[in-house]
Amino acid sequence: MAGVSVQAFRRQGRRFGAGLVCSEMVSCAGLAHRNERTLGYLTIASDEHPLAVQIFGSEPGPMAEAARMVEAAGADIVDVNFGCPVRKVTKTGAGATLLESPDRACRIVETVAGAVSVPVTVKLRRGLEHGSRACLALGPRLVEAGAAALTLHPRSARQLYSGRADHHLTAELTALVGVPVVASGDVDSRERALELLGTTGCAAVMVARAAQGNPWLLAEIVDGPRAEPTRAEVAGELLFFAGETVRELGERRATGFLKKFYGWYLGRGRFPKPFKQELLRLPTVAEVERRLLAAEPAAAAVRDRLLAGAAGVDEVLLRLPVSAHGGG
């Protein structure tokens, strides 16, 4: 998720049992030169593997070049974005627009797959318009062009995130292609994950929004039902996440970036509403940390344990810009 899946988020996902995590969208060189607004650079750490790095663009050549850079930086999978519905991206011919330009989409996948030796996968939506079934025509062609797996988010680009993902399409797609299909969209409980795995033929499920501030869901999906996290666990996890994010993004950017996470962590009845409002008004991350520790002193031990576990991890900075515009 653009604007969410920073390194701290991806590593957290791995810690809680995700089999594979994916980077934010990385702008391929061509777009970068056209002043695509970027949020910074991608950093990869050794404990993120297996890691997919997602690239987007509209031209096969620059996409292949980006794929080579991504592979050189250590990505285990290059994922191509054919799902982003944001106008800034679609108007350049990238993202979900490619669902309606099948020849170009196939050329991109073929060129990218020919440029790297790691698997190349594609993330797509159902199509551009309500009710579109474009993914079913395009999916098999993408596989022929070299896609090693497909992730389907069966909403149209026009829908953005409204309505429900129609996983009947996921079942139809899995019947059409001989590669693994990953189901994305509204996986927000263990029951839903098991239902999709049992009824659509998908090889895996992808959790996006439901993991925001709730990595415990991942453990529940993987390992089975578990008790709700304690307040100390929630606050400790948030403290660690905030610290990692400051290290990654710098204090200034992290301050704004983290604000949406306070509600995600502290909501769900875990902390009283006014407490979140109070954190949102604090001007620095350091003050948020102090306030959290005052409210939940046992969180310090949780955070310290997480810090000890994260020590000594190698990191590679990938000189490819992370896009400010995302979605899929």
Ligand X SMILES: Cc1cc2nc3c(=O)[nH]c(=O)nc-3n(C[C@H](O)[C@H](O)[C@H](O)COP(=O)(O)O)c2cc1C
Catalytic residues: 84
Letter string b/e over residues 262-277, b meaning 16 or more CB atoms within 10 A of that residue's CB: bbbbbeeebbeeebbe
In the chain, what are the helix, strand and coil shares in percent, each to the nearest 5? 50, 20, 30
Here the tokens at position 40 are 């910074």
Here the tokens at position 163 are 């309505």
Would you say 215 and 221 are in contact if contact means Cβ atoms under 8 Å apart? no
| Shortest separation between residue 324's beta carbon and ligand X, angstroms | 10
Q: What is the DSSP annotation of 184-219?
A: ES---SHHHHHHHHHHS--SEEE--GGGTT-THHHH
Here the tokens at position 63 are 């996409």
Q: Of 77, 207, 238, 306, which one interacts with ligand X (CB under 6 A)?
A: 207
User: Closest CB to ligand X among 82 and 271?
Assistant: 82
Here the tokens at position 246 are 């400051």
- Does position 286 interact with ligand X (CB under 6 A)? The reply is no
Number of residues that bind ligand X (CB under 6 A): 24
From residue 136 to residue 165, the character string flagging contacts with ligand X as x (rule: CB under 6 A) and all else as - is -----------------x-------x----
- Does position 57 interact with ligand X (CB under 6 A)? The reply is no
List residues bridging with 216 in a β-sheet.
Answer: none
- Does position 231 interact with ligand X (CB under 6 A)? The reply is no
Here the tokens at position 223 are 């390992």
Binding segment for ligand X among 100-108, 204-212, 261-269, 285-293 (CB under 6 A)? 204-212
Binding segment for ligand X among 182-190, 251-259, 276-284, 299-307 (CB under 6 A)? 182-190
- Does position 310 interact with ligand X (CB under 6 A)? The reply is no
| Shortest separation between residue 307's beta carbon and ligand X, angstroms | 28
User: Closest CB to ligand X among 235 and 258?
Assistant: 258
The radius of gyration computed from the CA coordinates of the chain, to the nearest angstrom, equals 20
Binding segment for ligand X among 64-72, 76-84, 114-122, 304-312 (CB under 6 A)? 76-84
As a whole number of angstroms, the distance between CA 221 and CA 16 comes to 10
| Shortest separation between residue 139's beta carbon and ligand X, angstroms | 15
Residue of closest CB approach to ligand X: 328
By the criterion CB under 6 A, which residues form the site for ligand X?
A: 1-4, 24-25, 54, 81, 83-84, 123, 153, 161, 184-187, 207-210, 326-328
